[in-house]
Structure 1
Amino acid sequence: MSDPNALVPLGRSGVSIPRLALGTAPFGNIDFPVPGDEVTRTVAAALADGPRMIDTAPAEGAGLAEARLREALAGMPRDRYVLSTKVGKRLHGARFHTGAFDALGQPVYKVLDRLEPAFDFSYDGTMRAYEESLKRLGTDRLDIVHIHDPDEHFAAAMAGAYLALHKLREEGAIGAISVAMNQWRLLHRFLDYGDFDCIMVSGRYTLLDRSAHDLLPRCREQGVAVIVGGVFNSGILANPIPGATYDGLPVDGTMLRRAIRLKLICAEFGVPLRAAALQFPLRHPAVAAVVIGARSEAQWREDMGAFGVAVPDELWGRLAGVDG
């Protein structure tokens, strides 16, 4: 069992984060609309028990997640949360809050042109993206900034985004710098050439896919903290049924059978699969935190409850024998 509020330092940055962090992708209406008042309740619930890391990105709903987060955090003491966002996918266009709210309680925005995320890892683009996120979030500082999905843009990201973030870190404008990806191999190259405080890897260190395991010892050795996202592999580990998704696509039969086997083994010990999936990454000493995207207060509370379930060592041993 892990303490979701225990603070873990991110390298030498001076930034510490709790073991369980809130991700804001659902706030961008990625899969289906989430009412604005539900966003506010979810954020309030996440911050109720202590300081919390909140991870967002401009690409989540074309700025909507960041803008809604600003509304939800209004009036909250700044030391109550660690704020994390991303650069590399800039928005083209502009969004302005009109001061009005719709029938669902969502803030109404006037949009000039069409907001579209597009890759921009240049130095100047990164600096502009940083300023734009500050404005959307309504804050004067960011605790962590990730270079977002630079899969095909390693050279540009290192020559542009990394140097910009390095400068901002030296100036004290941001606390920690990171790379966030859905793969792990290229993260080795970033660690070869850059001085990162942490990395974020999504979906590649879970009960179903443990492929990033080879990266973790290096992170541990170099003092680079690992933040793990996608612990449910986009849904299959939350509820392994036909029609569930794995990494955003309908799950195939092989992966579904493996997930069901994991669930049945957990059931032998009276442990929900959701609890084991949430806690699994934190068993590795290189992993500082897991990020959970919650679309409602109820879902956040469910995840908090799963985080507190005691998982016996014997169960971990059995789960380790299921190919991941």
Structure 2
Amino acid sequence: MQYTSAQKTVVFDCAGKYGAGLALETLGNCLKTLNVKPEDVLISNKLGWYRTSELQNGIDPTFEPGVWRNLKYDAVQKISYGGILECYEQGNQLLNGYKAELVSVHDPDEYIAGAHSQLEKDKRYNDIIEAYRALCELKNRDEVKAIGIGSKDWRMIKRIVNDVNIDWVMIANSMTVHNHPQELVTFMEELQRRGTIIINAAVFNGGFLIGEDYYNYRLMDPLNDQKLFEWRIGFFKLCNKYRIKPAQVCIVFGLNAPGVNSIALNGTDVNCVKENIEMATVLNAVIPSSFWKEMKEHGLIDKNYTYL
């Protein structure tokens, strides 16, 4: 593999939670091996998880049981003023000479959801605000370029942006061709007026919209989730009629949503990466207006949705 200095800065999105720091460590080592200049990359680190002790062989980590295999280290959650700074410093150490310049608190919605009482929810929300206070101080010292928030629950983003000055938001699993509630549309329009950058993530709803078995990380059942499968059958039928790939529709819809500056595409097949990028570049060129009209006529998208 060879590296040549890119005309545009290449962006990497990572997190200390991924493999208990393994993803950050691997990214840093790869960049170092390729002699990539730090100024040629922009790294985003979602903060809140801190690598701890080395695991004995065969022992699973304590976080996300059953998800990770053969990890060398464990990790603990640290969301607070001091904790988020520890995560930031450790992340830069793992990056091996590179540093994160885009920072955020990792999945604040899940952190709140883990509370067992309203009192604990209030405390955890205060933890999040304190963590962002620390990140704002990093930005004020020019140690990072921008502060953001990513969440699968867009309502958590709405709550936090009212208390914190955020540069960018990543909305996940929420603004897709299958699911695009008017309340979210209104909120995204508000963010656009503020000048907040919007990244639309998980536009395939976890892969279900392009034929996979999981919808937003939950395994679907044809009997219990019959309406969802019926929607997909109708969607695929219309895509076949127009000879359009479902992924293309998802990408174009996600990019055209109000205020969206970029989308984040995830895939389980490395061979799809190039194709996804090409589809995002082509945009509306292969999707006629009659397709969207029929989508509305068949009840596959909201008839009042206008960002097409």
Residue of structure 2 equivalent to 1:80: 40
Residue of structure 2 equivalent to 1:56: 14
Q: TM-score, normalised by structure 1?
A: 0.73
C-alpha distance in 2 between matches for 1:143 and 1:165: 11
- Residues 1:157 and 2:133 aligned together: no
Residue of structure 1 equivalent to 2:227: 254
Match for 1:207 among 156, 174, 177? 177
C-alpha distance after superposition, 1:102-144 (max 9, x if no partner): xxxxxxx994xx412x332111111110011111122443221
Residue of structure 1 equivalent to 2:156: 186
Aligned residue for 2:210, secondary structure, equals: coil
C-alpha distance in 2 between matches for 1:136 and 1:64: 8
Residue of structure 1 equivalent to 2:65: none
- CA distance 1:236–1:83, shift in 2 (3 Å): same
Q: Which has the higher helix share?
A: 2
Structure 1 residue runs of 5 or longer lacking an equivalent are: 1-39, 96-108
- Residues 1:219 and 2:198 aligned together: no
- CA distance 1:316–1:138, shift in 2 (3 Å): farther
Q: TM-score, normalised by structure 2?
A: 0.76
Instruction: Report the Cα offset of residue 295 of structure 1.
Output: 4.7
| Matched-pair identity in % | 22
Instruction: Report the Cα offset of residue 246 of structure 1.
Output: 0.4
Contact 2:104 2:150 in 1 (8 A): yes
C-alpha distance after superposition, 1:35-78 (max 9, x if no partner): xxxxx89xx8xx97953322111112222221221233222233
Residue of structure 1 equivalent to 2:300: 322
C-alpha distance after superposition, 1:209-263 (max 9, x if no partner): 21332320111111111111111111112225xxx11011112222122122222
Shifted more, 85-94 versus 128-137: the winner is 85-94
- CA distance 1:63–1:189, shift in 2 (3 Å): same
Contact 2:80 2:128 in 1 (8 A): yes
Amino acid in structure 2 at the alignment position of 1:92: T
- CA distance 1:199–1:157, shift in 2 (3 Å): same
Residue of structure 2 equivalent to 1:115: 74
C-alpha distance in 2 between matches for 1:265 and 1:123: 50
Contact 2:28 2:94 in 1 (8 A): yes
- Paired residues, number: 262
> Root-mean-square deviation (CA), in Å?
2.7
Aligned residue for 1:174, secondary structure, equals: coil
Q: Which has the higher strand share?
A: 1
Tell which has more relative contact order, 1 or 2 (C-alpha 8 A, sep 6+). Answer: 1
Contact 1:86 1:148 in 2 (8 A): yes
C-alpha distance in 2 between matches for 1:316 and 1:78: 43
C-alpha distance in 1 between matches for 2:29 and 2:137: 29
Contact 1:53 1:82 in 2 (8 A): yes
C-alpha distance after superposition, 1:130-176 (max 9, x if no partner): 01111112244322111111121322100x21011000011111111
Residue of structure 2 equivalent to 1:166: 136
- CA distance 1:128–1:239, shift in 2 (3 Å): same
Structure 2 residue runs of 5 or longer lacking an equivalent are: 56-69, 113-123, 303-308
C-alpha distance in 1 between matches for 2:290 and 2:39: 39
Aligned residue for 1:76, secondary structure, equals: coil
How is 1:22-37 mapped onto 2 (pairs within 5 angstroms)?
Answer: none
- CA distance 1:295–1:78, shift in 2 (3 Å): farther
- Residues 1:313 and 2:299 aligned together: no
